[in-house]
Structure 1
Amino acid sequence: INRGVRWDCLLKEFCPLDQMSSNTGKDVLLERVGNAGVITLNRPKILNALSLDMIRQIYPQLKKWEKDSETDIVIIKGTGDRAFCAGGDIRSLADAGKVGDPLTQDLFREEYTLNNAIGTFKKPYVALISGITMGAGFGLSVHGQFRVATEKTLFAMPETAIGLFPDVGGGYFLPRLQGKLGLFLALTGFRLRGRDVQRAGVATHFVESEKVLQKEYQLITIPAIICTGLTILCWWPCLSCRLFKASSVEEILENLQKDGSAFAQKQLETLAKMSPTSLKLTFRQMQMGAGMSLQEVFVMEYRLSQACMRGSDFYEGVRAVIIDKDQNPKWKPSTLAEVTEQLVEESFRSLGDRDLRL
């Protein structure tokens, strides 16, 4: 951390900034507060969901702050106490895909480009991930240096339930968690809460929300915490590591069936609800991503995103979970056995001139 950050200025100026946040109609606020660049996701009614327009505002400002000698640190947070960012607008994405709208290309391309900019940012980047942090919220936070969770944090990557895969760099970050924890989270969409978010390695720090959020998120407390060099606790039930150590999704199911514990039975029930295609794509994504650079992962995930847009499960997942809410998707193919190796291979194939360029 640059010890020259003017935290006294930050403290004095931060309260007026948040008062302005509550009075503006802008979806994202980009402000200089002392020597800090502050990004505020400002859509509390829809859990600060990320849109393409917001991405197009954040990215150039982030690049500008990176070069600005008077900006020493960037902080990103969400308005309200319910969510940091609960994801993207998948309903609009599904609507666009049905009519061939280029949003299905532009959103993924520009979001991954922003995620990469965060992952390569040359200054301290602090994400306050209090509240719901899923999907796009994962991409806006985990690739930065510091992620601060509170007891209100709820983290998950539930994409296999809607016919997608844990993208926004999930193929890079998740395989690097302890043991098979990342694979477990990727396949099941398991929800981590509070301190467990740090214990799992998703957050780098944990702070009680009253110490971070009172008096308009007193960010002055965070540098002191970060500079103490808190150690991430190495903790997680070994069950996920043992049961998810396998060479295929089918082998994982066999492990769970043989185990017979309440934990195993719960995971079997969960996986049975997920898109079989998404499960196989995600398993391969985790395998490949473990040996790739962050940039290589984004290229791979862009290919996967376009394969999902060409398929049917994403649209059916959005219908079942978001639109009709019957929670009863009709996946095609409907079983793991029907998801062929050819289908999986084709989903990872180069798009040629349409590949993501970083």
Structure 2
Amino acid sequence: MSDHVHIHRHGSIGHISLNRPKALHSLTLPMCQAMTGALLEWRADDGIDAIILDHAEGRGFCAGGDVAQVRQSVLEDGGEAGDAFFRAEYQLNHLLFTYPKPVIAFMDGVTMGGGVGLSLPAQYRIATENTLFAMPEGAIGLFPDIGAGWYLARLPGRIGPFLALTGARLDGAECLWAGLATHYLASEACAKAKSEIIARPHAIADILAELSVPAPEARLARNQEKIDLLFASDQLEEIVDALSGDGAEWAAKELKSVTAKSPLSSKVALKLIGQGLQRQDFAAEMKAEYALATHMIRQPDFAEGVRAVLVDKDNSPAWQADSAAGVSDTLVEALFTPLAPADEWSPLPGS
């Protein structure tokens, strides 16, 4: 059990609250293990009808996995503890994706990286005016993981590659428009929604419909035509050229975002998303992403990116390649090499 996760039961509702506010509820291995244990117990309990997933306090739902700990693992033990974290996190993601009972995730705050992995498998995903959604892994030399290859490939048009390459931050209205959220509530209504769900566990859809409010206009929708045009290619070099040649202020801003990220991470992300629609199921996605994660955390860009963003916080990473052209197709292909059978990721029993 972890002190950083509160696990409750309210009648027939299981309730998991992340409780690491000073770190925006970033996930650790014990947190993943605690959540998995509760979910497995409740999955087998006929007295549990649904699960509420939220955060206990603070402005985050979940800012992601604690990648600073993963980096330290790479430096100290060659990455074994980092591998263990990703294995447990991805098993938790898959357990939520296949969960036989409704899960209601309240994305009321920062929802990034690992927080996306917790919320997107849920049947009900609640956005509010506080929601701040992003997949910023390219800034730390990683790649959008936790099933992002599956989810981003299924967003409208080229929104998925756009989010992966820019790390763009979406508000709650944009999440609703893109299908990342299922409902939009005022944050002040979240407590009422939870209490009503506890009181009427078989009326979740009706309760959320009753409490939903119209979302503001989604800025992302206004930009979709430009995104679909300028991010149309699956080649990073061609996307950079398209943004460079556009001349508009919006394109210049997004070009700056794209070129600030690790070129290796960006090429890996494009390849992963390109494969997403071909995966036979979510387990296949997790298996591929786990192999990729174990390779990527051992690349110099990961240690450097985490150093720049989270350790020294100078936000000036020195990437191994200074442009897309410096990343070879051979290296990218090597990172997608499957693991040996004994090292592969696998789902939890019954998932």
TM-score (norm 2): 0.90
Which amino acid in structure 2 is aligned with residue 73 of structure 1?
A: A
- Is 1:357 paired with 2:332? no
The answer to whether residue 197 in structure 2 is matched with residue 210 in structure 1 is: no
The reply to whether residue 38 of structure 1 matches residue 18 of structure 2 is no
1:347 equivalent to 2:335? Answer yes
Query: In the TM superposition, what whole-angstrom CA distance separates every residue of 1:252-311 from its partner, at most 9, and x where no partner exists?
Result: 112212222111111111111110100100010000112212111111111111111221
2 CA distance for matches of 1:241 and 1:64? Answer: 44
Secondary structure at the aligned position of 1:32 is classed as: strand
Which of 104, 112, 115 in structure 1 is aligned with 2:93? 115
TM-aligned CA deviation for residue 218 of structure 1: 4.2
- Runs of 4+ with >4 A deviation: 227-235
Q: Work out whether residues 127 and 146 of structure 1, in 8 Å CA contact, stay in contact via their aligned partners in 2.
A: yes
Corresponding residue number in structure 2 for 1:220? 196
Q: 1:357 to 1:134 in 2, by over 3 A?
A: same
Higher relative contact order structure (alpha carbons within 8 Å, sequence separation ≥ 6): 2
Secondary structure at the residue paired with 1:31?
A: strand
Shift of 1:227: 5.4
Q: CA RMSD in A?
A: 2.0
Q: Residue 136 in 1 paired to residue 114 in 2? A: yes
Q: Which runs of 5+ in 2 are unaligned?
A: 198-203
Distance 1:141 1:101 in 2: 27
Matching of residues 321-332 of structure 1 within 5 Å: 321-332=309-320
Q: Is the 8 A contact 2:185 2:211 kept in 1?
A: no
Whole-angstrom CA distance in 2 between matches of 1:132 and 1:92:
20
Which whole-Å deviations, capped at 9, do the CAs of 1:301-324 have from their partners, x for residues lacking one?
Answer: 111111112210010001111111
Q: How many angstroms apart in 2 are the aligned matches of 1:75 and 1:246? A: 39
Partner deviation per Cα, 1:199-237 (whole Å, 9 max, x = no partner): 1211111000111147xx744266534356989999722
CA distance in structure 1 between the aligned counterparts of 2:48 and 2:337, rounded to whole angstroms: 41
Q: CA, structure 1 residues 101+313, in 2 after alignment: closer, same or farther (shift >3 Å)? A: closer
Matched, 1:57 2:57: no
Aligned match for 1:317, one of 287, 300, 305: 305
The answer as to whether partners of 2:79 and 2:297 remain within 8 angstroms in 1 is: no
Deviation at 1:163, TM superposition (A): 0.1
Q: Give the Å deviation of 1:81.
A: 4.2
Q: CA deviation at 1:335?
A: 2.0
Which residue type is aligned with residue 196 of structure 2?
A: I
2:144 — aligned with what? 166
Alpha-carbon contact 1:48-1:79 (below 8 Å) kept: no
Partner of 2:200: none
How far apart in 2 are the matches of 1:81 and 1:44? 5
- Answering whether residue 278 of structure 2 is matched by residue 278 of structure 1, we say no
Aligned partner of 2:252 among 265, 279, 300: 265
Pick the aligned partner of 1:92 from 49, 69, 76: 69
Separation in 2 of the partners of 1:327 and 1:81? 25
For the Cα contact (< 8 Å) 2:127–2:183, is it kept in 1? Answer: yes
Q: Distance in 1 between matches of 2:109 and 2:234?
A: 35
Q: Is the 8 A contact 2:7 2:17 kept in 1?
A: yes
Q: Counterparts of 2:94 and 2:272 in 1: how far apart (Å)?
A: 17
Q: Which of 240, 248, 265 is equivalent to 2:227? A: 240
Aligned counterparts of 1:204 and 1:304: Cα–Cα separation in 2: 30
Question: Could you say what secondary structure the match of 1:220 adopts?
Answer: helix
Describe the SS at the equivalent of 2:295.
helix
Q: Which residue of 2 aligns with 1:125?
A: 103
Letter of the structure 2 residue corresponding to residue 356 of structure 1: W
Amino acid aligned to 2:73: A
TM-score, normalised on structure 1? 0.88
CA contact (8 A) 1:81 1:130 kept: no
2:272 & 2:135 partners in 1: Cα distance? 14
What residue number does 2:290 align with? 302
What percentage of aligned pairs have identical amino acids? 39
- 1:146 corresponds in structure 2 to 124
